[in-house]
Amino acid sequence: EPEVTQTPSHQVTQMGQEVILRCVPISNHLYFYWYRQILGQKVEFLVSFYNNEISEKSEIFDDQFSVERPDGSNFTLKIRSTKLEDSAMYFCASSASGKGANTGELFFGEGSRLTVL
């Protein structure tokens, strides 16, 4: 069964450092997403990405965050200057189609745990 893969599985960084989280979406999917989940809290939408540009973003996704699809397979989330409150599990997801009627399920990766010290 095709799956979304994420690296690293766990990253520890110092406050103020830049972090890049990587994702390989399912190969024929066109829509890509990042969500995050702070320990013990809800899964929160960050950003959606289609056709090499951001489709939608939440209030959480401020200027410290950026996304990129540098090649045909990877989808990355960059946090420019990490803060303590960025510590969370970050989930990448992809779908075959995006906004519109009955677009089908999102496939989530296993997550990248980010710990900011």
Partner 1 sequence: LAKTTQPISMDSYEGQEVNITCSHNNIATNDYITWYQQFPSQGPRFIIQGYKTKVTNEVASLFIPADRKSSTLSLPRVSLSDTAVYYCLLNYGGSQGNLIFGKGTKLSVKP
By beta-carbon proximity to partner 1, the closer residue of 14 and 59 is 59
Distances (CA, A) of 41 to 13, 37, 44, 92, 110: 21, 6, 9, 17, 17
Cα distance between the two ends of the chain: 37
Our finding on whether 25 is near partner 1 (CB under 8 A) is no
Site size toward partner 1 (CB under 8 A) is 31
> Which residues inside 35-94 make contact with partner 1, applying CB under 8 A?
35, 42-45, 48, 55-56, 58, 89, 91, 93
Among 33, 65, 70, 75, binds partner 1 (CB under 8 A): 33
CA distance 51 to 41: 31
- The one-letter amino acid code at 76 reads T
Least spacing, CB of residue 46 vs partner 1, in Å: 10
CA distance 102 to 21: 29
Least spacing, CB of residue 50 vs partner 1, in Å: 9
CA distance 101 to 56: 17
- Positions touching partner 1 (CB under 8 A) are 4, 31, 33, 35, 42-45, 48, 55-56, 58, 89, 91, 93, 95, 98-111, 113
